[in-house]
Homo-oligomer: A and B are copies of this chain.
Amino acid sequence: MATGRTHRPATRSRGIPEATVARLPLYLRALTALSERSVPTVSSEELATAAGVNSAKLRKDFSYLGSYGTRGVGYDVEYLVYQISRELGLTQDWPVVIVGIGNLGAALANYGGFASRGFRVAALIDADPAMAGKPVAGMPVQHTDELEKIITDNGVSIGVIATPAGAAQQVCERLVAAGVTSILNFAPTVLTVPDGVDVRKVDLSIELQILAFHEQRKAGEGAAAEAASAAERGSAVGAAEVDAADADADADVDAPEADSAAANRKGPDGDVPAVMPA
């Protein structure tokens, strides 16, 4: 009981599980597409396929919202679009600020899907004085000095951080102090925030590393899981450029090792006795 409180104690919604909330936008997107094609009703099976989940999960998810379907028929598309939008809070308009107008920030500012559903870019903010006044996505970039005023004047409660990692925590603190209570963080760093502030993180590098993990497992799948050359699968592969990688990957040694008590370290269960580098 050292620290006591967990990082996000109040994640439990007014009934709706977090996992369900995370899928609602998916359903909404699928439903919107159906709505545009003027499809009047949809079954859980069809909608689930469109959203990339299975139908039992979808029905369970919807059951947390209420009984919005009709047995034997399915769901009314327009009605569900409205109910989910409402549940997600998209029937109101959310002004958003983007801080850090580099490559990524500019890309986000230009991203169309932003404005589509209740979100409105209220301001673009950057620390570089040379950026100030420059138009990005048809909007003048404002200097960080204005941050607090912008947040307050526009009633912004959602902030997007697209700064370098080093600046992120400080920007975060200023946003929070000015009244922002939800942050979407693109900087590759862990943000520390007070209770009551939500942070979601988008991290390219982490996603790639997770993919690499699975990719590696695929490669060592049929083989004896050793001498992992960059074996590709599916179709023919030349691999006529990855030799440097091979030199790295082949070796089961070459681990950095520091000092003292390096004895009796063991890997998982029945594997090789573990990598014991010099």
Residues in A lying within 8 Å of B, measured CB to CB: 2-3, 6-7, 13-15, 21-22, 24-26, 28-30, 40-41, 45, 50-55, 64-68, 70, 73, 76-79, 81-83, 86-96, 102-104, 106-108, 110-111, 113-114, 116-119, 122, 152-155, 157-158, 176-179, 181-184, 188, 190, 192, 196, 198, 200, 202-218, 228, 230, 232-242, 244-246, 248-249, 254-259, 261-262, 265-269, 274-275, 277
Contacts and interface: CB of A to CB of B under 8 A. Distances in A.
Contact of A118 (B41, B212, B275): B212
Given A153-B238, A235-B177, A259 B215 contact: no
Given A79-B258, A196-B218, A241 B155 contact: yes
B13 A92 contact: no
B204 A45 contact: no
A208 B158 contact: yes
B155 A113 contact: no
Secondary structure dominating the interface of A: mixed
Contact of A213 (B88, B207, B255): B88
Contacts of A73: 261
Given A200-B210, A261-B70, A52 B274 contact: no
Nearest to A249: B92
A30 to B, nearest CB: 8
A209 B179 contact: no
Given A93-B242, A212-B118, A233-B196, A188 B103 contact: no
Nearest to A184: B207
A94 to B, nearest CB: 6
Contact of A25 (B153, B182, B206): B206
A130 B253 CA distance: 47
15 contacts: A25-B205, A26-B206, A51-B190, A52-B192, A66-B265, A68-B265, A76-B258, A92-B230, A93-B249, A95-B241, A103-B110, A153-B240, A158-B208, A181-B215, A200-B210
